[in-house]
Structure 1
């Protein structure tokens, strides 16, 4: 029966192929939406780990998380250096990482920080940053590149780069009087770190010396910059690691009620959950749309089988004359529906992995989203089983009609 069903589908290869394609595309969309959601969650969650608090100017918690960790958006205000120093001296704090954003290099964000960034920052499962080449910066006009920056722009150690004013891809204000020298390239992390140019805080102060209203009023050279006091005046945000995580809520309240200036301290994990809750409606909508696409694909398969059934009545009558019973013919059409569904599932899975392999470099480059290869998880296997069962049910109606035709037609076909 399986062999006969295969030959029957091959005889109708055009309609069967189109039906198979519709089922495969619907399966790809159903699993692709779910996989993209899960991978996005994992990628965002792995961007920073081991950080107990993130502090910035008072705004929204999600906004602070996005611009300080994911380099998305811009801050509404800065944190005063004096406030940072006062909070840094709190005995509950083990370490801090200052962050200064606002400049870019050929579309990549420039981050001003210090040595503590390379010493204490963790990503993934508390993995430390490592250098694939060179060393961390040690003077104001040195830079350490993320892996994606170095790869895409083709930079090497010792190369000079010019930072642009502003975070846009195109800037008409270049800090070309003080170029930075590449002294290190970080190993790939699969996070926004890969798409970031890291420079010292003193370097950020040097390139903005004499700037007013976003334009330079006085240009200085590297030798003059070394003679200046390059202590930062403001920061965009800073990360905090505590000696004991139990003290996180207490310190968070202290910072949120800080009297010297309005500040906001957030718990990265809790704020990330808030971000996902804001996106829950969109995720549900995408899942529902994918589900309806699967239903449409199965209805298309059912429609094709029913439409071709009248044209196959002579074929079924000939099979009856050769000794096939009504039940055999009904099972034959059921096996054909099962084959179409099963092959559609396999083709959809294969297409999903192929699309993932092709899209992974683009998503990594443009959005810092890392798509890891993995087998379908338990929920995805359940969805595949549901589609397979629905395809089997969709084949029952043509099978039932074939059963009735074969009883009534015999060798005489009523038109």
Structure 2
């Protein structure tokens, strides 16, 4: 068997150009397969880690997916608001370590505006318990100061000290803008790959201030100017939702039950991890599509190798016949062709894997900076090794077809000169 592999290697080195192109086809298909798999798993992991370190999310009574969508992903709206007194009472519960209030309802050029406080920048976590960091600037301190997510700043080309105008409601039209109360950009967050990147952050007091005169949802009353409003202390009457971190994970279910049966108003408390998994199952068609793409990538690469082997087979009929004349049996010819396919697949897998890691080393900072998606550079997982094993087996099977054709050729068939 060793002699056959050596002969296969010598045969491939004699056909350097054809072998190299075939090898390149297999390597690229393996790189794409592993690359798509890495992106798929990291995207799933990033989705599952959109919010981290938060034990409960509380909102008005609704389904857990709906609550997750508007509180974390900024999609949709709450069925109702939460009274500020209810928030204060629950946030001061003995089980609660920290709380983050959130007020939604306004927007800026298609991006949601979030009213919150400094606890948001201190306690909000994503990924593997990563905290929010500032690329530029600082937290808001003044009433009309804002902190932008990375995507907002990049897409709208904002810099520190620029002024932005917030619109009332989700649609940003000229008639519903708070254009007499512009906000100054004092901070820009680093990319996170989460909805934080697509958010405009202001203080809860600012949300209350800009809505003076807008109580009915339209500008019917008078709104004082910024200098006048700066002299007042604003406390929200209502908020949209809030996040809780507890002193102990053991207390999660007890506090959740307490909130779900809260007597003063109907509330829902959800565990974000469970809600995220439920939401991902609803979106699993995207994951399945990536798996199908991975499969077709490999099939295309193997078909390229099969085409190359079949094309070269007619050119090698005399070579096969000479080997037969020198004493090689038909089964030797069969194993020779299968060995060539095996060698090409093995080297292609090794080259493709090396190419993947090289590309990851180069592209990882760019992908994280541009898309906020952190692709971890780690060893091959058990599933990836299984995929490579399947590719290797498929490569061997692909070599069987040309090997069978060569096996069936007679000695005279290759020795006859055809004009």
- Asked if Structure 1 and Structure 2 have the same fold, meaning a TM-score greater than 0.5 normalized by the shorter chain, the answer is yes
Could you say if the C-alpha distance between residues 164 and 378 of structure 1 is closer, same or farther in structure 2, counting changes exceeding 3 Å?
A: same
Which of 15, 21, 26 in structure 2 is aligned with 1:8?
Answer: 15
Which of 231, 240, 243 in structure 1 is aligned with 2:244?
Answer: 240
How far did 1:194 drift?
A: 3.3
Checking the alignment, whether the CA contact within 8 Å between 2:153 and 2:159 is kept in structure 1 is yes
Q: How does 1:281-360 map to 2 (within 5 A)?
A: 283-284=287-288, 286-288=290-292, 290-291=294-295, 294-295=298-299, 297-299=301-303, 301-302=305-306, 305-306=309-310, 309-310=313-314, 312-318=316-322, 320=324, 326=330, 329-342=333-346, 344-345=348-349, 348-349=352-353, 350=355, 354=359
Show CA shifts across 1:255-292 (max 9, x none): 11223332210011222222233344653464256335
Say yes or no: does 1:160 pair with 2:163. yes
Residue 146 of structure 2 corresponds to: 143
Distance 2:101 2:109 in 1: 23
Checking the alignment, whether the CA contact within 8 Å between 2:360 and 2:377 is kept in structure 1 is no
How far did 1:248 drift?
A: 1.2
Residue 266 of structure 1 corresponds to: 270
Say yes or no: does 1:384 pair with 2:388. yes
How far did 1:207 drift?
A: 1.9
Checking the alignment, whether the CA contact within 8 Å between 1:360 and 1:371 is kept in structure 2 is no
Which of 99, 111, 115 in structure 1 is aligned with 2:102?
Answer: 99
Name the SS of the counterpart of 1:216 in structure 2: coil
Which of 394, 409, 414 in structure 1 is aligned with 2:413?
Answer: 409
Say yes or no: does 1:208 pair with 2:211. yes
Say yes or no: does 1:124 pair with 2:127. yes
How far did 1:55 drift?
A: 0.4
Distance 1:176 1:374 in 2: 50
Show CA shifts across 1:331-382 (max 9, x none): 442243234434553565537975997698578656x543344443231122
Residue 194 of structure 1 corresponds to: 197
Distance 1:82 1:8 in 2: 80
How far did 1:388 drift?
A: 1.3
Distance 1:116 1:38 in 2: 31
Distance 2:91 2:260 in 1: 15
Say yes or no: does 1:75 pair with 2:82. no
Q: How does 1:176-187 map to 2 (within 5 A)?
A: 176-187=179-190
Name the SS of the counterpart of 1:232 in structure 2: coil
Say yes or no: does 1:220 pair with 2:211. no
Distance 1:327 1:5 in 2: 19
More moved, 392-401 vs 211-220: 211-220
Residue 252 of structure 1 corresponds to: 256
How far did 1:242 drift?
A: 1.8
Show CA shifts across 1:148-200 (max 9, x none): 444454444333222233445x5443222111122233344443333322210
Unaligned runs of 5+ in 1: none
How far did 1:327 drift?
A: 5.3
Could you say if the C-alpha distance between residues 387 and 238 of structure 1 is closer, same or farther in structure 2, counting changes exceeding 3 Å?
A: same
Distance 2:34 2:325 in 1: 45
How far did 1:222 drift?
A: 0.1
Distance 2:365 2:265 in 1: 43
Aligned length: 409
Distance 1:262 1:102 in 2: 20
Name the SS of the counterpart of 1:109 in structure 2: strand
Name the SS of the counterpart of 1:175 in structure 2: coil
RMSD: 3.5
Residue 53 of structure 1 corresponds to: 56
Could you say if the C-alpha distance between residues 22 and 61 of structure 1 is closer, same or farther in structure 2, counting changes exceeding 3 Å?
A: farther
Distance 2:110 2:377 in 1: 28
Unaligned runs of 5+ in 2: 1-6
Distance 2:101 2:391 in 1: 51
How far did 1:76 drift?
A: 3.4
Q: How does 1:391-406 map to 2 (within 5 A)?
A: 391-405=395-409
Could you say if the C-alpha distance between residues 61 and 365 of structure 1 is closer, same or farther in structure 2, counting changes exceeding 3 Å?
A: farther
Distance 1:359 1:58 in 2: 41
How far did 1:395 drift?
A: 0.6
Name the SS of the counterpart of 2:409 in structure 1: helix
Name the SS of the counterpart of 1:393 in structure 2: helix
More moved, 107-116 vs 347-356: 347-356
Distance 2:110 2:10 in 1: 58
